[in-house]
């Protein structure tokens, strides 16, 4: 069982909707990540938070807005999405932002469909 919990597991939304994806971890990790994964593709990094501060934004469109309320929670706010944004959104955490030296713990993902 994963120790990173993502909700909801599935989300269907229209292009004018506002919704949020949530991620929670209680491993004391200080770095959290959002990845986007299209079918049959590898995960692509979107955002990295380190000690609750946004440290990496991989040129993600502003219709995706991350938020880290505290060290255990990570949100991804969605607004005015396009059908091509349909994908599996994965949250991950690591002990520190030095992902270069450690493993990532992934949640099970939120499957997003934009109509």
Partner 1 sequence: SQQGEEDPQALSIQEGENATMNCSYKTSINNLQWYRQNSGRGLVHLILIRSNEREKHSGRLRVTLDTSKKSSSLLITASRAADTASYFCATAPSQGNLIFGKGTKLSVKP
Biggest alpha carbon–alpha carbon distance for the chain: 41
* Nearer CB in complex with partner 1: 64/97: 97
* Nearer CB in complex with partner 1: 87/114: 87
Backbone phi, psi, residue 85, to 5°: -80, -5
Would you count residue 106 as binding partner 1 (CB under 8 A)?
yes
Question: Least separation, in Å, of the C-beta of 67 and partner 1?
Answer: 20
Question: Least separation, in Å, of the C-beta of 16 and partner 1?
Answer: 27
* Nearer CB in complex with partner 1: 3/18: 3
Question: Least separation, in Å, of the C-beta of 3 and partner 1?
Answer: 11
Q: Is 101 helix (H, G, I), strand (E, B) or coil?
A: helix
Instruction: Give the Cα separation of 35 and 18 in Å (integer).
Output: 19
Select from 71, 44, 74 the least CA-distant residue to 60: 44
């Amino acid at each position: 069982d994963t120790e990173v919990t993502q909700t909801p597991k599935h989300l269907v939304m229209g292009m004018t909707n506002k919704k949020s994806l949530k991620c929670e971890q209680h491993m004391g990790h200080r770095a959290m990540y959002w990845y986007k994964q299209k079918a049959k593709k590898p995960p692509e990094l979107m955002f990295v938070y380190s000690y609750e501060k946004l440290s990496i934004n991989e040129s993600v469109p502003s219709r995706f807005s991350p938020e880290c309320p505290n060290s255990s929670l990570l949100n991804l706010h969605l607004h005015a999405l396009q059908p091509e944004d349909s994908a599996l959104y994965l949250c991950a955490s690591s002990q520190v932002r030095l992902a270069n030296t450690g493993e990532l713990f992934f949640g099970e993902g939120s499957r997003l469909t934009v109509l």
